[in-house]
Structure 1
Amino acid sequence: MISRIGLYFSSKYSTMLSLENAKKLAASKAVDLHVNCGDLIGIGSGSTVVYAVERLSERVKADNLRVKCVPTSFQARQLIVKHNLPLTDLEIDRELDVCIDGADEVDCNLNLIKGGGGCLLQEKIVASCSKKLIIIADYSKNSKKLGDQYKKGIPIEVVPMAYAPISNKIQKAFGGVLDLRMAVKKAGPVVTDNGNFILDWREYNQDSDWDKVNTTLLSIPGVVETGLFINMASKAYFGMEDGSVKIQAP
């Protein structure tokens, strides 16, 4: 019995490690294939991007790689500073060579859900200013349809005064449930880097025409941006359980 319990915990711990290893594999592969000397790089947010910045720092030191980085959030900026990588911004450098970012979910058509960390607006701005958006993720983010794996909902950043009527309008148009995202270690709702609230839209129709849905959502007054990234990603790299990297292209 003791050996079986030990085997169970060993197996469970190994699975946990493999998830982090999968993130690292995807991040390293993407940085090695898509970052060149002299590039202007958008740096996304989230746990997988940590490994991308680590690999980028290694290449800068080992290969004397010259790059400049535009962060998509305060967290991304701190990560860039921590690794002593050069910072720039969109006021100085208005077109980027590549943006490397994570995703909460990627479907079979390379549609993305992003914004689980609340940085969707700045992530989408930086991605839109990049010649190509490269997504890095572990195998758990790879789905056939949006909503297969990621159950927390599609994030929608909204002006605070309008969150209630916006929620009603979305429910009337598309159904589903919208929750105002609440903070964990403070009272009240989550406030984004841009001073807005986030609605998380759950129980939506997974067979929706996401391009049309996204356009409709953005037409609602008070909606600042959505976590639907449609026709934006050039490629996605998924670190797999077996140690390989799956590459998905449109």
Structure 2
Amino acid sequence: MAAEIENAKRAAAIEAVRNHFPSNPRFVGIGSGTTIVYVVEAIKNSGADVSRAGFVPTGYQSKQLIINAGLVPIEFDALPDDVMIDVAFDGADEVDEELNCIKGGGACLYQEKLVAMRAKQFVCVADYRKSQSRLVTKWPTVPIEVEPKAARQVIQRLRVLGSRSPSGAGPLIREGHMVKAGPIKTDQDFFIVDAPFPHPLLIASDLTDERKGDGEHGYWEVEQLARAIKDINGVLAVGLFCGPTGPEAQAAGVIGGQRPVACYFGMADGSVSLRRAMEKRPSIVSQYPPLIPVRSSEV
């Protein structure tokens, strides 16, 4: 079983790199997690000219992968102000049919979101276990990166939003492997709070007059929940990657996309299943924050 899963990850990584790695890249985002090991391996073996390329890691692990492969890392805050990342590759903990993702199982979600939103396109690479019709189906919680002093307050607010599992358990600060060592810390020295919700998260097509996706009766739509959690004081990042894709954000002139343009799922039989993002209506994309603030005319 373990070998089957690793083979599935490798197959998905090879196909994603083959189809999306630029012929002459300048900046490439490299995410975190076990699947990304195979992405870096595929890039190294692709034969592409990477002599001018800088690889932007989303955390300590991905930076070490880049260095060990003989590639050149560049920190996110060293990117020139006027450039975009050509493509970002990353994994996910769960992906729904619209390519909304849950990320943060590896505690790198803030930097993963920074890189995804700076990329022209974000490509997700995963194995077949991560593909679900709706989020919070098999992956039980939404990871949230939280300022430590605010953690208890954030947990109280999450409970108000209806965060609880079907068994009644509520949100918890993620502990390390040794409880006496205390909570896991992110690269920003923040905590991760894992917030369960009683029902799988809805997508826009699920909404009706009776089910608005605003948390009533425990039913949340992905983007509404992401906004409600992000509005809590003390929350740095929410592990829901949703909204526009990179191309949609650029076309609409709004702040960068966090939803992948495509997800490659390695299957148990060694094949690869490709799911492309469905386009969001322009009227929906236009509701996101503008990339360049619009100045009101002076009278």
**TM superposition score normalised by structure 2:** 0.75
- The Cα of 1:89 is off from its aligned counterpart by 2.9
Counterparts of 1:242 and 1:199, CA distance in 2:
35
For structure 1, list consecutive stretches of 5 or more residues without a partner in the other structure: 1-14
CA contact 1:36–1:65 (8 Å) conserved in 2 = no
**Aligned AA for 2:186?**
T
2:172 — aligned with what?
179
Compare the two structures and name the one with the higher helix fraction: 1
1:141 aligns with 2:168: no
Task: Supply the distance in 1 between the matched residues of 2:55 and 2:149 (Cα, whole angstroms).
Answer: 34
Give the Cα–Cα distance (whole angstroms) in 1 for the partners of residues 49 and 150 of structure 2: 49
Aligned to 1:213, which of 225, 242, 246?
A: 225
Matched, 1:242 2:269: yes
Amino acid in the other structure paired with 1:236? C
**Cα deviation, residue 249, structure 1:** 1.1
Question: 1:228: Cα distance to partner?
Answer: 0.4
Structure 1 residue 65, shift from structure 2 partner = 4.0
CA contact under 8 A between 2:22 and 2:86: conserved in structure 1? no
Mapped partners of 2:267, 2:36: distance in 1: 16
- Inter-partner Cα distance in structure 1 for 2:23 and 2:262: 20
Structure 2 partner of 1:128? 117
C-alpha displacement at 1:245, in angstroms? 0.7
83-92 vs 224-233, greater mean Cα deviation:
83-92
In 1, the alpha carbon distance for the partners of 2:70 and 2:156 equals: 46
Quick one: distance in 1 between partners of 2:193 and 2:173?
5
Note if 1:50 corresponds to 2:37.
Answer: yes
* Alignment-mate amino acid for residue 33 of structure 2: G
Distance (Å, rounded) in 2 between the aligned partners of 1:65 and 1:164: 46
Q: Which residue of 2 aligns with 1:68?
A: 54
What do the CA deviations read for 1:59-78 (whole angstroms, capped 9, x no partner)? Answer: 2xx34444320000010000
Aligned mates of 1:204, 1:159 — CA distance in 2: 25
Q: Which amino acid aligns with 1:25?
A: A
Deviation at 1:84, TM superposition (A): 0.5
Sequence identity (%): 37
Alignment of 1:81-160 (within 5 A): 81-90=67-76, 91-93=78-80, 94-151=83-140, 153-160=141-148
User: Which runs of 5 or more structure 2 residues have no equivalent in the other structure?
Assistant: 165-169, 203-219, 244-258, 278-299
CA distance in 2, matches of 1:125, 1:230: 13
Aligned-CA RMSD value? 1.3
Task: Tell me how far apart the structure 2 counterparts of residues 146 and 224 of structure 1 sit (CA, whole Å).
Answer: 21
Paired residues for 1:26-45 under 5 Å: 26-39=12-25, 40-45=27-32
- For 1:166, the equivalent position in structure 2 comes to 154
Question: Which structure shows the bigger proportion of residues in strand conformation?
Answer: 1
Report the counterpart of residue 18 of structure 1 in structure 2.
4
Structure-2 residue corresponding to 1:202: 196
Using the TM superposition, give the Cα deviation of residue 243 of structure 1 relative to its aligned residue in structure 2, in angstroms: 1.7
CA deviations 1:82-108 (Å, max 9, x no partner) are: 000012233234410100000000011
Q: Distance in 2 between matches of 1:16 and 1:43?
A: 24
Distance in 2 (alpha carbons) for counterparts of 1:92 and 1:203: 37
CA distance in 1, matches of 2:48, 2:235: 44
Q: What CA deviation, in whole Å up to 9, does each residue of 1:132-168 have, x standing for no partner?
A: 11000000000011122213x1100000001111111
Q: Which moved more, 1:77-86 or 1:88-97?
A: 88-97
What secondary structure does 1:233 align onto? coil
Structure-1 residue corresponding to 2:186: 192
Task: Name the CA distance, whole Å, in 1 between partners of 2:119 and 2:79.
Answer: 14
What corresponds to 2:255 in structure 1? none
Q: Quick check: 1:228 aligned with 2:240?
A: yes
